[in-house]
Structure 1
Amino acid sequence: MLPISHRLRALSLLWLLGVLLAACAVPPAPLPTVTLPPSEATATIASTTTPPAAGAYQYTLGQADVSVVVGDGVIEPLELRGTIAAPAGVGPHPVVLVLHGSHTVCPMQPQSPEEPMICPQATQFRNDPGLGYLLEALATQGALALAPDVNTAFRAEFGGLEQEAQRLQFVVERHLEQLAAGAPAFGLAPGLTVDPARLYLIGHSRGGSGAYELASAWVEDAPAPGGWGLARGLLLLAPAVQGGFDSVPPLDVPLAMVLPECDGDVSSLEGQHVVEAARLDPGRRSPAVSYFLQGGNHNFFNAAVELDDSQRFLSRCLPEAPRLSGEGQRQFLAGLALALLSAWESGDANAIPGLDPARPLPPILYGAPVLLVPVSPAAQRRPLLPGTASSELSTSPLGGVVQVEDAELDFCPYGMAGSGSPCRTGVSNPGTPAQLHLAWNAPDAALRVTIPPAFADASAASALQLRLAVDPLDRRSPAGELQRMRVIVRDSAGGEAAQPVMVAFPPGQVLGESWFGQVFPGTIRLPLAALSGVDLARLAEVALQPETPSGAVFLADLELVTDGAAIGGPQRPSPFRSLSGAVAVPELNDAPEGSRLVVRLEFALSDGEAPRFVTIQPAAVAGAPPFPFALRYHQAAIDDRLDYVVDAILQLPDGQSFGLSAPVPAITDGVPQQDIALELARVIFVEPTHVPTDQTFRLTVRAPAGQPFPPGALVSVAFSRLDASGIGVDTLAVAGATIGDQPADSVPIEVPYWSGALDPGAPYGVSVEGFAADAFTRLAATGGNIPVDLATSEAVVELTPVAP
């Protein structure tokens, strides 16, 4: 048997977290593009009432054939209800399904500091009417728009459905079945017809992730019952996305993503992962675009949710940053949704706001400031320097030479934050895109990309595009200042055209070693019609020449784009790779049902460093070992300059665990290994030796000014001996406290320690961190060790906010 090593002991909680997160993930499956032909199929709706056309109203379909627990011992049938708006005219009309998020549902109870998880449906706050304005707007465009009440699907199990996605699918499909059957309870005008082949989905927050999972399920299993077709378009608003795009491509349907800058709920803006995955898919045939909504928050898309979440701990906006009003945010969404529906219905991708490469990108859209990342179908893009591989530091995907003059160029892999290279450490790039990092400190700096003769003809292209964002943490970026550079296009005959571009310094501030604020690499588009003096049929080079003396930017997707026609380029293989092997467990004859094997790909790190994962793959196993595995990963997540290892753990239902004594090489010098043999041994958790204490240091920890610790927050203290530079080198004691039912501006913590462990004359200090109630999300910290005077036996420290 294998005694637990220092490494395994330190990582046991990380293992558990990784297993739980991976177990919750439901990776989307690849699917063909949904084409947009007109349909003859219609469903007729019978009704005895005639509400005003385009006015939103509530409906009740009755009870489903399942029961739900809504309190202690209280069981009631699941109610099917929602809000709907109908268009004028007979039709057939397209159908837009709108899913609200998981907001407040239950009234607060006396003497209880927290909202109940579930309550009787008659007492629940309805979140679907808050989207009535959007339903009405869609109805004026000729769509039948409905928002089912899915509160209970988010909050309670029913029908034996343990997963939220399954419950959501159950509820939505019951609504669609009755709509197709012409249920009178919808209250629609007599003779109104809908086209089941023209179905579109809009989802907000967990309703956004639910909309994505619904569209995936209908492709993987079968279309929604009732004769409905596949979803022909998705609009996701601040969705909580599980991920999984490191192993499978995203849905290949027209997709739009809205990312509010000041989101205080899904503050990592993880929905951008979907767009990044679409951008990296070499076979994608549908357009995708993300709209970074500056000043927007998470809640205001729903008129029933009045809380401004932009001031929560999780938000990455400063209090003084400009904000959108609720009315302005909903005006933006209504305008965008109407434009998208019109484009999806017509099949004209260039009508999608911001996608037409012949037109400049709008800085203001429907009254709101935005940054965009438009992703045209892969056949319409010729990547010159996409920033998706470390090989691009010297050679472009077209085979051209990449040359850097008086500057530094680095590669940031997809999905990695702080990859061991200088790029992106401490900076939040939504979607953690694969990109390059260009930095300079000389007036003659330049980045040049030559174009081989085989790909010199760009006459079919409409625009040159690139994504840029200033790196606010790089010392070469002047704080608060614009970065200016010229994009220069040259042909083989010596013709040249240049276009100046400017990149704004992102809003935010430095907190410790991190940047508090979003750093979004938005797209800059240069229509080629404006570049006179260069022969587009004989392109030879594209260069970036900074005009500021020093600076640093994130750079991606330098590419030529057409407005519909295919543009030639090299054949791009699938970006997905696989490592194969087998896991042996000599001490185990048989793994019972319910056992879980987790295999992880991570950086090869030195001893004592926390692991940095590339991908985590869980699998249910049973029976006799060895267990084969095929670990899929995305090539853009790999830096060929680094080495990678595979680690694994087997967990049995009774709590026993088996692990590796050390990770095994998996990718060396860019070459993946196959037939990897992993041998696991039983993990024995050894209780630490008890250390007596005879002294107590009393600490008062204050929350950041104006940002009290929320209920359930955890505050941890490490008491350490410091070296000459103030770094903790010997931890003597740790302690912590949990915030109670009410927010707290400060919390007292007692730190017991043994005076016999003190080094006379050495300095000592405390490092303090505050976490949300999930014990994972960092809220505030000291930013290092704060020296303390042991003679006084007490101290007061004030924390500063950190980027979660």
Structure 2
Amino acid sequence: MRLLRLVLPVLVVAGLATPAQAAQPPETASGWSVSGSELVWKSDNPLPVGDAAIEFWAGDRLLGRPRPSADHRTFTLSTRTAVDPRELSVRASGKRLDVEEAPRPMKTRPLPPPAPQPAGTVDPGVPGPYKTTTGEYTVDPIKLPDYPAAIEMQGLVVAPVNAPGRRPLALFLHGRHISCYDPADPRYQNIDWPCAEGKKPVPSYTGYQQAQQLLASQGYVTVSISANGINGQDADVLDLGAQGRSSLVRQHLTRWADWAGAGRGSAPDIVKAVPVADLSNVFLMGHSRGGEGVNRAAMDSLNPPPGDTLPTLWKIRGTLLIGPTIFGHNPAPDVPSATILPGCDGDVSDLQGQMFIDGTRGVSRGAALHSSLYFVGANHNFFNTEWTPGQSVAPSSDDFRSTDDAVCSPGTPTRLTAAQQQTAGATYIAAAAQLFVGGDRRVLPLLDGSGVRAPSADPARVLSHAVGGERTSFVTPEAATATSGGAKLCKQVTKDEAQGCGVENRTHFVWFWGVSEDPDRFAVSLSGAGTVRPAKPVSLAGSRDLALRLIVPPNTKDNRFDIAITDTRGRKAQLGSVKLDGLPATEHVSALWSQEVRVPLPWHGIDLRQVASLELVPHGNEKAWLLDAYGWNNGLPDPRPVPLSRVDVGALTVQEGDSGTKKYQIPVSVSGDRAGKVRLFIGRDKAEFEARLVTVEPGQHTIDLPMEVTGNTRWSWGSSQQVLAKAVQGTVAGAYGGGITVIEDDPAPAITIAPATTTEGGTMKWTVTSSAVADSPITGWGRTIPPTQGRQLSTTDVDPTWFKENTAEEPLPARPLSDTRLMFYFDIPAGSLTGEITMPTVADTEAEPTEYVYSKLRLSADRTKEVELVGTVTEQS
């Protein structure tokens, strides 16, 4: 699905109470321009190529995700709407990229690294008994929809020597990094595809050899595949490459299935030289956008995309994701997973990959384990040696760029070295493989929140929690959950401070695209002794412990809570106390992450078949957030994936027309035969979303989403209705974004600005006139430029307060207005014919010639045209 077909429209300058004025730009105004129908931002320096989505925002509204230039310096968003330059910003994972933002300093000092946890009974980081062999293969490239250039089919194989029988297959997929480099010029870094003549592809796929060697020694056939062709083209697709990466993974698996059977004789030499792969035991590892890609591959293998012709000749037993993106909030609920969240991630810094755990709750049977692993002191890049300075053949860098951070800057006690991080990563990759594929339940405590460590990963501090597995849901906060005392049900995603959890958009609280109100996501904030009641009594009979996922503020110590439960007859059981320390953090670090704590359930004194409430009592002034609570047993059931109904949102583009009303259906398809529920977020022209819960019935193939389009002969920005889909129960969301775009087919009115004249000390007033009434506001904006004649007004010729408000600059020393960041801006409201721009001047005692101000304003109604603004200031008589 091409990105250009879907643009989230935004109405601009809502509530502007004054006539059009010179624009007051924030610091972000530098670098912005309009070119035709495109909004462009140019950075002073190339931005590092990473995996987090770069986004254009207007205030708190997401405008869209722009296309980068090959050198990652210029970013372009196609849009049919005007924007207020005063509101523009560029962000990635919530961080501003267009200005140096001063973060709010934390009130607490960072803690030292957590104390080492007890060693587990098994260490998956210990090499196995097999010697290994290494080689590469390249087969014919493939063509994928929406990717103009062919995608390479290249892999690095590391496999055991003389391992008997068929061996499980582990496939690795790297994330988004520069695709091309110049060995002769370290300054050349490019995200294009294919590489230009004389330039070389970056071998990102060779960056996981330590983990491949470890798994191969333990008996796995491993292959790490190249995805530069996806990276160089994914900016033009709505899902930023998730479906393309899934297709690439499944194309490789298709080859491996053939090479394990009838096609073995024609397999590449390295494949024929290693044990036959067992395609019924496949493990996937994905880093960053590769993590989202292998998750989609797992989903597509169980619930194929509409029209997909690849037969599924394999079984994916589990995935391990490192610092993954999850733009779609659509985890594969029935495929076990472990997600590494790097505590010093400077790329996907909001740690949005936490949604691979949280987003599975209640969607399917809940038997698949989903583990979250918080790696204290790890950055994003160094899990891949080809993204690590001193190890990579192409230019690379530390994605955590602050040099004076007390937790994450190199050399601090908490920050891991590259070698330590890679060893810890390999250890936990092997842990996930041994548990999900090998079935070694001794590994389970390393991943499920039991609080043990793998000594091979030392000195890394790795904390874990999990959902699924042998857990029985007790409290998963929802709208029907009741709270009392110091416990308060709060919305995880909302702009309403009174109803929110008071936590910024990170980890458990990340937004889904620009959706700022999510009715399905709740937590419980705790500011004192409080009680939480699920909607119905719950049976915890048969569970050994009560497990809770609790967040405590970073850098806090000895947070203690007494835990109790009460049954429907009012009998209370005191279960004991738990103690948590906050994670070490600074203002640059995402550390509001839940930790798992457990207390034993009683054998008598309470009816565990009818548990009605949970009580938490802090020992002091501890603040906390409860994510959920479960009955817990030590075990790992067979996830037994079931086919779920799959929802895919398509895109439709139509013409407005000159008259009449037409009805269109936004394409939303359903495949599968199971009943379920899906949450649709339906966007409107003001960038607000209507949340609609839709029930999918067995045999249903579409979801009814009509939209009426009424034609006329008045110009407007056009309109659109964006649709986002998220699984709620019994469904999965494949293509999660789409909608309908209505193209305006009427000519734009002509705009003129009458020249303005005033004497020194007066106010310049320009009247902006439209030749016809429009259905949308018409805006224009442009920088001050040198006039075509005469002397230019200076910064001391205009009112100093007005100048500072509109430029964030001081008027002294005096300089021409064209040397400043002053912009002029107007807004003709819909249904009106005129607007006004004003500029106050000041009088002085010097004899001066007539002075001028000049600008060319780009028009929202027709961005191929500019309108001149000319102002004249004469001496007082």
TM-score by length of 1: 0.61
What secondary structure is seen at the aligned counterpart in 2 of 1:505?
A: coil
1:107 maps to which of 160, 165, 181: 181
Match of 1:750 among 820, 830, 853: 820
- Aligned counterparts, 1:74-113, within 5 A: 80-87=153-160, 88-108=162-182, 113=187
Local SS of the residue matching 1:686: strand
Aligned to 2:562: 486
**Cα 1:166–1:564 shift into 2, 3 Å:** closer
Separation of aligned partners in 1, 2:407 and 2:662 = 49
Q: Does the CA contact (< 8 Å) of 2:152 and 2:227 recur in 1? A: no
Q: Aligned in 2, Cα 1:270/1:191: closer, same or farther, shift over 3 Å?
A: closer
Q: Identify if the C-alpha distance between structure 1 residues 154 and 615 changes in structure 2 by more than 3 Å, giving closer, same or farther.
A: farther
Moved more, 427-436 or 82-91: 427-436
CA offset digits 1:226-255 (Å, max 9, x no partner): 76224221111111222244xxx6442111
Q: Distance in 2 between matches of 1:228 and 1:322?
A: 44
In 1, the alpha carbon distance for the partners of 2:574 and 2:666 equals: 63
Answering whether residue 530 of structure 2 is matched by residue 436 of structure 1, we say no
- The runs of 5 or more residues in structure 2 that have no matched partner are 1-9, 17-22, 24-55, 68-76, 79-128, 390-396, 512-520, 638-644, 669-679, 694-702, 712-718, 730-738, 749-773, 786-791, 810-817, 824-837, 845-877
> How far has the Cα of 1:342 moved from its partner?
2.1
Is structure 2 residue 628 aligned with structure 1 residue 557? yes
Residue in 2 that maps onto 1:403: 484
Q: AA paired with 1:436?
A: A
Q: Report the CA distance between 1:216 and its aligned residue.
A: 2.9
* Corresponding residue number in structure 2 for 1:366: 457
In the alignment, structure 1 residue 7 sits paired with structure 2 residue 14: yes
How far 1:185 moved relative to its partner? 2.2
Q: 1:228 aligns with which of 306, 313, 337?
A: 313
- C-alpha change, 1:506 and 1:85, in structure 2 (3 Å) is closer
Q: Is the CA contact 1:596–1:621 (under 8 Å) kept in the aligned structure 2?
A: no
Task: Give the conservation status (yes or no) of the 8 Å contact 1:354–1:361.
Answer: yes
Question: What is the DSSP-based 3-state SS (H/G/I as helix, E as strand, rest coil) of the residue aligned with 2:132?
Answer: coil
Which amino acid is 2:335 matched to?
V
Deviation at 1:686, TM superposition (A): 3.3
Q: Which residue of 1 aligns with 2:275?
A: 192
**Secondary structure of the corresponding residue to residue 169 of structure 2:** strand
SS in 2 for 1:208: helix
**Could you list the per-position Cα deviations for residues 533-566 of structure 1 after superposition, in whole angstroms to 9, with x for gaps in the alignment?**
8775675653211111x23222220232344699
Alpha-carbon distance, 1:100 to partner? 1.5
Deviations 1:314-368 (A, max 9, x none): 99965357112222222222222222222223557785344668x5565988332
2:373 alignment partner in structure 1: 291
Q: Does 1:652 align with 2:743?
A: yes
Partner of 1:387: 477
Against the structure 1 CA distance between its residues 334 and 756, is the aligned structure 2 distance closer, same or farther, given a 3 Å change threshold?
same
- In structure 2, the partner of 1:344 is 436
Code of the residue aligned with 1:136 in structure 2: it is Q
The count of corresponding residues between Structure 1 and Structure 2 is 600
Q: Is the 8 A contact 1:468 1:554 kept in 2?
A: yes
Structure-to-structure mapping, 1:83-232, within 5 angstroms:
83-87=156-160, 88-108=162-182, 113-118=187-192, 119=195, 123-156=200-233, 164-165=241-242, 167-169=244-246, 171-179=248-256, 180=259, 181-182=263-264, 183-188=266-271, 192-218=275-301, 219-221=303-305, 225=310, 228-232=313-317
Q: Is the 8 A contact 1:273 1:430 kept in 2?
A: yes
What is the match of residue 400 of structure 2? 311
What residue is the counterpart of 1:41 in the other structure? none
- Once residues 466 and 134 of structure 2 are traced to their aligned partners in structure 1, the CA distance between those partners, rounded to angstroms, is 35
Matched letter for residue 499 of structure 1: G
Residues 138 and 338, structure 1, Cα contact 8 Å, conserved in 2: yes
CA distance, structure 1, for counterparts of residue 468 and residue 319 of structure 2: 15
Q: Pairwise mapping of residues 752-767 of structure 1 onto structure 2 (< 5 A)?
A: 752=822, 756=840
Taking the aligned partners of 2:687 and 2:144, their CA distance within structure 1 comes to 44
After superposition, the Cα gap between the structure-2 partners of 1:447 and 1:287, relative to the gap in structure 1 and judged at 3 Å, is same
Task: Confirm or deny: 8 A CA contact 1:90 1:191 kept in the other structure.
Answer: no
Distance in 2 separating the partners of 1:316 and 1:154: 33
Q: CA deviation at 1:519?
A: 3.0
Conserved 8 A contact 1:584-1:625: no
Is the 8 Å Cα contact of residues 108 and 114 (structure 1) preserved in structure 2? Answer: yes
Computing the radius of gyration over CA atoms, which structure comes out larger, 1 or 2?
A: 2
Q: What is the Cα deviation at residue 464 of structure 1?
A: 0.9
Q: Name the CA shift for 1:446/1:326 in 2 (closer, same or farther; >3 Å).
A: same
Change in 2 beyond 3 A, CA 1:453/1:253: closer
Question: How far apart in 1 are the matches of 2:746 and 2:635?
Answer: 56
Map 1:714-793; keep pairs closer than 5 Å. Answer: 732-734=805-807, 750-752=820-822, 756=840
Aligned-partner residue type, residue 196 of structure 1 = L
Q: CA deviation at 1:259?
A: 0.9
Q: Which runs of 5+ in 1 are unaligned?
A: 25-51, 396-401, 473-478, 510-514, 567-573, 605-609, 638-647, 658-680, 699-718, 722-729, 737-747, 761-804
Residue 451 to residue 173, structure 1, CA distance change in 2 (3 Å):
closer
Query: Alpha-carbon deviations, 1:393-449, whole Å to 9, x = none?
Result: xx2xxxxxx431xx3624123x44765535234463445393435343xxxx41124
Q: Are 2:615 and 1:543 aligned?
A: yes
Once the two structures are superposed, what CA deviation does each residue of 1:431-475 show, in whole Å capped at 9, x if it has no partner? 5393435343xxxx41124689964x5330122111222346xxx
Is the 1:461–1:563 contact (alpha carbons within 8 Å) kept by the matching residues of 2? Answer: no
Q: What RMSD in Å do the two structures reach over aligned CA positions?
A: 5.6
2-structure distance, mates of 1:565, 1:162: 33
Residue 505, structure 1, aligned to residue 589, structure 2: no
CA distance in 2, matches of 1:344, 1:231: 9
> Normalization by structure 2: what TM-score?
0.56
Judged with a 3 Å threshold, the aligned counterparts in structure 2 of structure 1 residues 195 and 225 are, in CA distance, closer, same or farther, namely farther
Q: Which residue of 2 aligns with 1:686?
A: 779
Partner Cα distance (2:326, 2:536) in 1: 42
Output the CA distance in 2 between the equivalents of 1:21 and 1:316: 34
Could you say if the C-alpha distance between residues 454 and 544 of structure 1 is closer, same or farther in structure 2, counting changes exceeding 3 Å?
closer
Distance 1:541 1:265, change over 3 A: closer
Residue type matched to 2:428 in 1? L
Q: Is the contact made by 1:697 and 1:751 (CA closer than 8 Å) also made in structure 2? A: no
Partner SS state of residue 278, structure 1: coil
**1:301 is matched with which residue?**
383
CA distance, structure 1, for counterparts of residue 589 and residue 190 of structure 2: 33
Identity within the alignment, %: 19
Distance 1:274 1:224 in 2: 27
CA contact (8 A) 1:498 1:531 kept: no
Q: Which amino acid in 2 is paired with 1:546?
A: P
Residue 595 of structure 1: CA displacement? 11
Alpha-carbon contact 1:451-1:539 (below 8 Å) kept:
no
